Amino acid sequence: MNKAQLIVALDVDTFDQAQKLIEDLDDSVDIFKVGSQMFTAYGPFVTRYLQVRGKKVFLDLKFHDIPNTVASAVKSAVSLSVAPGNEQDFAPLHMLTVHTCGGHEMLEAAVKAADEQAKKLKVKRPLIVGVTVLTSQAKEDKLQALVLERALLAKRAGLDGVVASVEEAPLIRRYCPKDFIIVTPGIRPAGADVGDQKRVATPQAAIESGSNYLVVGRPIVQADNPKKSAQAIIKEISNSAFLG
């Protein structure tokens, strides 16, 4: 991956709100995050809507259960890559999350299930990234060590990368391969309200720390002009990549 990419989190209450946001950002944003709020309310309908529009979906459900249950959930997620009709622009599921605290056996089961289901359905396997520590958790003395431990666990289990804050990204970059993906939430442009996030960063800081994907929610979703806000962040990403 040559440069970082923006992911917009569809953390809104209704599909109408999500639809308007997707339409407003259609020319600017390629990847959208569907989390537990949207998926619980509407199931796969939102992901299908995005995929039919040719958009990439980051399914952020943080699967965490016994290995067999997670494997079954991942199989179902991979099945979302199959177009329900004859849509020409249908985009396969791009990425999904599991929680690293589920342990090595669970993570391996998730990867195996994804590989097998993708092969069976003849679709591209989505990237699987492991959630390390939520960015809403406050800083602690041993937090970086814990995140690195979970990142290395994810790597050994065969995951494609992890979700981690900008503060841990440089450490992960030091000990993991270049192609190991880092997804960074808690991105806030300079001067933006941090909300309930404790470990936040600007787009530039995240890129300089080695992040591949920057997840942005409220600074775009709650903006008076979401498209303008998204384009400003994309510009900062491009400028940071150029300077780097």
H, E, C per residue of 132-167? CCCCCCCCCCCHHHHHHHHHHHHHHHCCCEEECCCC
Higher per-residue confidence, 37 vs 240: 37
pLDDT in the model for residue 35: 97
pLDDT tens for each residue of 120-163:
999 999 999 999 987 666 566 688 899 999 999 999 999 999 99
pLDDT tens for each residue of 169-192:
999 999 999 999 999 998 877 555
pTM of the model: 0.91
Question: Sorting pLDDT into bands at 50, 70 and 90, what band is 241?
Answer: low
Question: Sorting pLDDT into bands at 50, 70 and 90, what band is 1?
Answer: very low
Domains of the chain: 5-243 (3.20.20.70)
pLDDT in the model for residue 2: 45
Catalytic residues: 62
pLDDT in the model for residue 87: 79
pLDDT tens for each residue of 52-87:
999 999 999 999 999 999 999 999 999 999 998 877
pLDDT in the model for residue 138: 57
